Structure formats: C-alpha cells, structure tokens
Amino acid sequence: MLERIVAAGIGLTAILVAVMVVVVVGVGCAAFAIVVALMPFMGLAGAAAVTAALFLVFPLMAIVMARQMVRPQKRKPREAAKSGDQAIVDALAILAEERPGMAMAAAIIFGAGSAIMRERK
C-alpha cells in the first residue's frame, strides 16, 4: 500500500515537473520569436528590452486586476456604545482596522479635544 502511494507521489511530481518544463520552454520560444520579429526595427538590445517589458507588464497587470476583483469580507456589526467616550473608542477601533494612520490622527485630535474640554470644567 505504501509503495503505491510513494509511486503515485513520484509519478505526480514527475508530471508536474514535465508540465513546468514545457511551460518554461514555450515561454522562452515565444520571447525569442518576439525578439527576432522586433530586431529589424529596433536592434537586438531594444527588441530584448521591449520583450522583457511585455513579459513583466502583463503578469503584473493580471495580478493587480485579480486583487481588485477580490471582495473584502463582510464585517459583523458592533454593539451600540454605552457612553460618549466609549463611542469614540469604538469608532477609532473600526477605523484602526481599515486605516491605521487615519485612526492615529483621529485619536490625537479627539484626545486634544477631550483635554481642552476637561480643562474648561
């Protein structure tokens, strides 16, 4: 039984390696074809630079587009605040999860406002 599992694992690994080799060779051949096609117009260095840019820009664009398509998870609503100070703390906690820098600025502003209000009393 164990021999079959090991053999299947080695077989699957060999298939994955073979597929990776085919993909790498295919991409290399495509890149070479693009360089050869562009060489008469811009020379070897220019054609190689344009081809490298193409092979870097398109995957990066695909990654950016894929990340934008992912929807954020819905968050559970928080309980109602008990007092004014607790409401500010809860609002800052929600803000800190999404935008930490803005939460820090808001905390400084609310803290300064609270200190000024306490001094007046």
Residue by residue, pLDDT tens for the chain (121 residues) are 556 656 666 777 778 888 899 999 999 999 999 999 999 999 999 999 999 999 888 888 888 888 877 766 666 665 554 566 677 677 767 777 777 777 777 777 777 777 776 766 5
Domain that holds residue 93: 84-120
17 touches 9 (CB < 8 A):
no
Length of the chain: 121
For residue 18, the model assigns a pLDDT of: 86
Residues 60, 6: one domain? yes
90-101 as b/e: b if 16+ CB within 10 A: eebeebeeeeee
Instruction: With 0.75 as the threshold, say if the pTM is over it.
Output: no
d(CA 121, CA 111): 16
State the amino acid at position 92 in one-letter form. L
- Structural domains in the chain (count): 2
For residue 78, tell me if it sits in a domain: no
Q: How confident is the model at residue 39, as a pLDDT? A: 93
Residue 79, domain member (yes or no): no
In a domain, 24, yes or no: yes
Q: Does residue 116 belong to any structural domain of this protein? A: yes
